[in-house]
Amino acid sequence: MDDFWSGVGVDLHLEPDATAGRRTGLERALRDAVRDGRLTPGTRLPATRRLAVELGVSRGTAKAAYDQLVAEGYLTSRQGSGTAVASLPSADAAAPNTPTRTRAPLFDLRPGSPDVGTFPAAAWLRALRRAIATAPSLAYDYGDPRGRIELRTALSEYLGRARGVLAPPERIVITSGYVQGLALLARVLDGGTFAMEDPGLPFHRDVVRRGGGRVVPLPVDEHGACAGELTDADAVVVTPAHQYPTGVTLHPERRRALTDWARARGGLIIEDDYDGEFRYDRQPVGALQGMAPGQVAYLGTASKTLGPALRLGWMVLPPHLVDEVADVKLHSDHHTESIGQLALAEMINSHAYDRHVRACRLRYRRRRDQLVDRLGVRRSVRGIAAGLHALVEVADETEALARAAEEGLAVGHLGEHWHAPDGDHRAQGLVVGYGTPRERAYPEALEALGRVLETS
């Protein structure tokens, strides 16, 4: 029998074994398709009359094959509903009472994510509709690896007025989030040495290493990254607005020291504008890029303001890096998807994005205030001037984490962020994110945190 594709209900690809006989060959082909998952539970199969025509067999042969697989439990058949694939237990399903995954925490105060429940679905839908209605047909074709000109133009204006970034559209490259931007720069500077904040996010260090870079630690103190300790690095990655995880803001003198180093050495500053939009007690601190546009690669995203699922980020590059980064982007994924870019451009141009960011800023400031009020003045809480996380100092991280586990509370901790986690680090603390919990769950999560800190 020849392979066939059915046009009824679902495209159905089968390879019946002609040497086994028509009925037996059809039974085996259907059975194998169900077993290996090519036919998923609930999939409706063609009627026996249509199946017989497609295969060139009698209707009786097709019906007999269906009846046999119904009897074996692979298919189900109902009068008036036709024949469908039955639900089967997975071959690798765990035995009863065997745990298959870690239980989700009762309270999640891990850092790194926003409250995704605040995603402005109505505003995004309006922007998406307007973008699709006005998009040229070429928007659905392969595009510029630097990204849609509509979004690059909108970001040029927005970043200039909101973050103090000098961002001509021709120097902007749209990425699928911050991680891709960092990976692209690591590939462009293949083999280069990257100084990265210590403590800092281990995953970002892995991204640089996988891109061909060598990572060296750059100490962080109460004034931010210690720029005076930079030596022979080719690039330095910093989070000036709200350092992760300590929460400090880079001191003005350190900013000048960084830019002086970059100019003198010809080094590259990679500015991760982490939490740059969320400053609570005064106006947001301007981006470092505005001080040295020729030495700073500025990276930002919509992950914290809108949601990580959109995978929309941007780079503002020194002129000499634009073509190289665009070429690596071209050979990485060609370009970031276009329709989301057009929708974000529409939101920025209509100022719906500004309104949403302001609303989020108020929401997260209230959460920050609740956190500080619950912990009180006796507990040292750092990094609360901005962002979606705070560092709560503790005497013993191990004990605090054990108590958190007893309470069903998930939190981050400082120990997992050091370049050398097993080293002798005096500072210990819990990294508490207040973006993740939904509004109703947040007060109870704070109570659990309070109990952990009071008893540990």
pLDDT tens across 319-340, in order? Answer: 999 999 999 999 999 999 999 9
Residue 272 has pLDDT above 60, yes or no: yes
User: Which range has the worst mean pLDDT, 34-38, 52-56, 358-362?
Assistant: 52-56
Provide mean pLDDT across the span 243-253.
94
Per DSSP, 234 falls in state: S
Q: What region, left, alpha or beta, does residue 245 occupy, with left being phi > 0 and alpha being psi -120 to 50 degrees? A: alpha
Please state, in angstroms and rounded to a whole number, the distance separating the CA atoms of residues 225 and 222.
9
- Domain residue extents for the chain: 4-85, 107-114+355-455, 119-351
Cα Rg, the chain, nearest whole Å: 28
Work out whether the CA dihedral 217, 221, 227, 230 comes out positive or negative.
negative
Of 2.40.128.520, 3.40.50.880, 1.10.1740.10, 1.10.10.10, the CATH number of 4-85 is 1.10.10.10
Those residues with Cβ within 8 angstroms of residue 360's Cβ, 6 or more apart along the chain or in another chain: 114, 118, 277, 278, 305
User: Which range has the worst mean pLDDT, 103-107, 181-185, 208-212, 393-397?
Assistant: 103-107
* CATH architecture group of domain 107-114+355-455: Alpha-Beta Complex (3.90)
| Percent of the chain's residues with pLDDT above 70 | 93
Work out whether the CA dihedral 255, 256, 260, 266 comes out positive or negative.
positive
* Whether the Cβ atoms of residue 224 and residue 370 lie closer than 8 Å to each other: no
Residue 296 has pLDDT above 90, yes or no: yes
What pLDDT, on the 0 to 100 scale, is given for residue 88?
A: 72
| Percent of the chain's residues with pLDDT above 90 | 68
Q: What region, left, alpha or beta, does residue 71 occupy, with left being phi > 0 and alpha being psi -120 to 50 degrees? A: alpha
What pLDDT, on the 0 to 100 scale, is given for residue 415?
A: 92
Residue 423 has pLDDT above 80, yes or no: no
* CATH architecture group of domain 119-351: 3-Layer(aba) Sandwich (3.40)
What pLDDT, on the 0 to 100 scale, is given for residue 95?
A: 44
pLDDT tens column, 68-118: 888 888 999 887 778 889 987 654 444 445 444 556 788 999 998 999 999
Residue 59 has pLDDT above 80, yes or no: yes
Please state, in angstroms and rounded to a whole number, the distance separating the CA atoms of residues 117 and 99.
30
What value does the mean pLDDT of the chain take?
Answer: 90
* Whether the Cβ atoms of residue 391 and residue 415 lie closer than 8 Å to each other: no
What pLDDT, on the 0 to 100 scale, is given for residue 5?
A: 44
pLDDT tens column, 191-237: 999 999 999 999 999 999 999 999 999 999 999 999 999 988 999 99
